[in-house]
Amino acid sequence: MTWPTLSPVLTMGAVVLALLVLSSAVTLALRRMLPERDFAELWARVRAWWVMAAVFFAAVAVHPGVSLVFFALLSFWALKEYVTLLATRPADHTTLFLAFLAVPLQYALIWIKWYGVFIIFIPVYLFLLLPVTLVLARETRGFVASASQIHWGLMAFVFGLSHLGYLLQLPALPGRTVDGRALVLFVVFVVEMSDVLQYVWGKLAGRHKLLPTVSPNKTWEGLIGGVLSAALLAWPLRFLTPFTPLQTVLVALGICVAGFLGGAVMSAVKRDFGVKDFGALIPGHGGMLDRVDSLCWAVPVFFHYVWWAFY
């Protein structure tokens, strides 16, 4: 191989840039060739990807501190979208404030690389503390619902997503150039590509509905086509990882399936809330949560495999 001299960020930047140019060109060509069909949504999505890719690379390339602040903002925004749709009670006020306060604390733990507390702060300590603050509000009606919903949101959007931060902080393995930042690029790229390819496969070949009562747009063809093609795309990207070629494809399959499950869970949440999207932050995509839902599931799975196998 001749290109390990290029940094992973630059290499992936070039790959993503090429894909963006390609998808923009394809969309424009489709618009020209099929003028009777409406490609407004597709075009909005492609344009949003340009912006998201630029913001993400800027956040990851500059400095780990910038990256962690960026990931913390993702968690904060996602938690906010979720909490806004919850039927909260006035008695939940202080507990909700503490839940949001957990975002900077969790990322501060990552910044100082205190793994032992990072991994139990939300699942154990906040699990114990938050219901106590609800007790202090002295309102028992709706207590269990509030305690569960608030902690569930913290687990998914703060604890789950913050694994991206700890992944970034992982040092280079002895004798290799692969470090946390390369692993972040790998997992985010593969999972997001899997989302995109599931959408594309579903649009092109989707016939058999997968979860009609949860997410009517998900099809077997979309799932299988998307996951398999994303796993194949991961193959040439193993320079970002310490994996063997076979391992790369198996891990990619695992995180794509986990990402799909995360998306399905969030679809069920949206159904329960009676909304189509979690917000309107990103044109064509909905809210922040609509974009990071698969990462909330895939990144912890990826992180703990890497942690167990290599660190």
Partner 1 sequence: MSEEPGQSAPPHEPALPGQAPASASARRPVARWLQILFFAAIVRPFLALFIGLRVRGGEHLPEHDPFILIANHTSHLDTVALLGLLPLARLHRVRPVAAADYFLRSRLRRWFSTTLFNILPVDRHHVTKGSNPLSDMLAALHAGESLLLFPAGTRGGEDGAGHFLPGIAHLAETAPEVPIVPAFLVNLGRSLPKGTFLPVPFFAEVRIGPAVHVTGTRAEILAGLEAAVLALRGEK
Residues near partner 1 (CB under 8 A) are: 76-77, 80-81, 83-84, 88, 90, 93-94, 96-97, 100, 279-280
Q: What is the DSSP string of 252-276?
A: HHHHHHHHHHHHHHHHHHHHHHT-S
For 286, the 3-state DSSP assignment is strand
Q: Which is nearer to partner 1, 16 or 147 (CB)?
A: 147
Q: What is the DSSP string of 195-262?
A: HHHHHHHHHHH--SEEETTTEEEEEHHHHHHHHHHHHHHHGGGGGGSS--HHHHHHHHHHHHHHHHHH
Q: Which is nearer to partner 1, 90 or 116 (CB)?
A: 90
Tell me the closest approach of the beta carbon of residue 39 to partner 1, in angstroms. Answer: 26
Tell me the closest approach of the beta carbon of residue 114 to partner 1, in angstroms. Answer: 26
Gap between the Cα atoms of 36 and 170, Å rounded? 51
Tell me the closest approach of the beta carbon of residue 290 to partner 1, in angstroms. Answer: 14
Within 10 angstroms of residue 172's Cβ, the number of other Cβ atoms is 13
Tell me the closest approach of the beta carbon of residue 68 to partner 1, in angstroms. Answer: 17
Q: Which is nearer to partner 1, 23 or 88 (CB)?
A: 88
Tell me the closest approach of the beta carbon of residue 254 to partner 1, in angstroms. Answer: 34
Q: Which is nearer to partner 1, 84 or 244 (CB)?
A: 84
Tell me the closest approach of the beta carbon of residue 47 to partner 1, in angstroms. Answer: 20
Handedness of CA 49, 51, 54, 57 (dihedral sign): negative
Q: Which is nearer to partner 1, 27 or 88 (CB)?
A: 88
Strand-pairing partners, residue 219, are 209
Q: Which is nearer to partner 1, 16 or 103 (CB)?
A: 103
Q: Which is nearer to partner 1, 230 or 289 (CB)?
A: 289
Tell me the closest approach of the beta carbon of residue 281 to partner 1, in angstroms. Answer: 8
Strand-pairing partners, residue 282, are 286
Q: What angle do CA 206, 275, 286 make, to 5 degrees?
A: 70
Burial of 115 (0-12, 13-18, 19+ CB in 10 A): middle
Q: What angle do CA 274, 275, 276 make, to 5 degrees?
A: 135
Q: Which residues of 254-277 are buried (b: 16+ CB within 10 A; e: fewer)?
A: bbbbbbbebbbbbbebbeeeeeee
